[in-house]
Every structure is written in C-alpha cells, then in structure tokens.
Amino acid sequence: MAEKATVAGADYGFFFDQEICTGCKACQIACKDKHDLPVGVNWRRVVEYTGGSWQRSGNTFAPSVFTYYTSVSCNHCENPVCMQVCPTTAMTQREDGTVYVDQDKCVGCRYCEWACPYSAPQFNAETGHMSKCDLCYDYRSTGQDPACVEACPSRALDWGPIKDLRKKYGETNAVAPLPDPSITNPHLVIKPHRDAQAWDAASGNIVNPKEI
C-alpha cells in the first residue's frame, strides 16, 4: 500500500473490508509485535462471527449458515466515551482525532475499559496502566502505514482521514458483532461481508470469545 503523509487537522480512522478478510490474524500479530504487548493484551483483535441453520425439505437439508471475520481495534471515535469517564484526563485526543493514553496521568482505574463498547483500552499489568491503539502515531509521523494495515496480506485494512474513507468506501459501520455505532460514532467504515448481519439482529454468535 502506498505511503501516506499525515494531514494536519484531519480526523483519522480505519476502513475494513469484511468481504475479503480471511481471519488470518496477521494484523493482530503485527500490532502485538510492533508494540511488544504482553500476554493477554491485544490492541487489535479478529472476531469470528457465525450463525444460521439448516432447513429440512422432505429428505433433504438446505443450509442457511454464515461465518465471517471482523478485525477491530480502537476506532478513535467522534464521541470517545473513554475520555468522558477518565477521572485523570489520561485519555487524550490529538489534533488528528486519534485517542491515546497519557501514561504520566493514568492510574489504571480501568473506567475507560468498562465504558468502551469496543473494549479498546486494555489494562497492562506489567505497567499498571491502561494501553490502547493510537493508530501507530510514530509510523504515521514518518509517512508509514500503521502496522496492522501494512501486515494484512488481503489488503482488507486501510486508514486515513475519515471523510476520505467515507467518500471512497461508504458509511457503513453498523455490522454485527460490533455494537450500536450511535454510542460513540466510530471513525470506522466497513465493506460488509455478503452475509453480514445488522448490529442488532442477534442472529449469530462470537465463536472465539477467549481470543478477544
């Protein structure tokens, strides 16, 4: 993917193509490796969502089942509830809209973790502080793609100013198993899988809960 320059004043976000994601978890591994995250802390996670049934017609059965993957991290939301509940203002937003943890202020109370519908802030027991994706601020500052975007072999991830992503890919973000997007107005655009379910359909189940 071509290198991009960070644009001052832009509100950044992610694009995810649910249709072509194979669930390989290269994005998750690249993030974990780049940030040297300890066991149990994953800033990007790949969720497998499945559901449906088999219908019987006489002596035959017709499948009506689905399975697809969703790669999710912090969505650097328009309305970041993590910042609203943080008692020390450790949850901080840069001018480019990305949210990060000010380690000098964080006391590890975990309020942000409990408030975030995407489980983006995660407690690092080694530091006693919260941690989360900052959309690879250091990489972006030198014109590189975030680690997760660069690592995806299917090119299912993209990033950039959210206005540009929405203009290019649309505005869909209400796809199961993600929560109601109206809670935080995430800077996220999804190209839905052909079998994608609405966020409130309750028609499937997450089959790898221990991984996320």
pLDDT band at 5 (very low <50, low <70, confident <90, very high): low
Please answer whether residues 23 and 46 qualify as being in contact, where contact means their C-beta atoms are separated by less than 8 angstroms.
Answer: yes
- 145/155 Cα distance (integer angstroms): 12
* CB proximity list for 209: less than 8 A, separation 6 or greater: none
Q: For 26-59, how does the pLDDT look when each residue is reduced to its tens digit (9 = 90+)?
A: 999 999 999 999 999 999 999 999 999 878 777 8
Burial degree of 52 (CB within 10 A; 0-12, 13-18, 19+): middle
pTM: 0.91
Q: Which residue has better confidence, 114 or 57?
A: 114
- 120/198 Cα distance (integer angstroms): 21
pLDDT band at 1 (very low <50, low <70, confident <90, very high): very low
Burial degree of 28 (CB within 10 A; 0-12, 13-18, 19+): buried
Class of domain 12-77+134-206: alpha beta
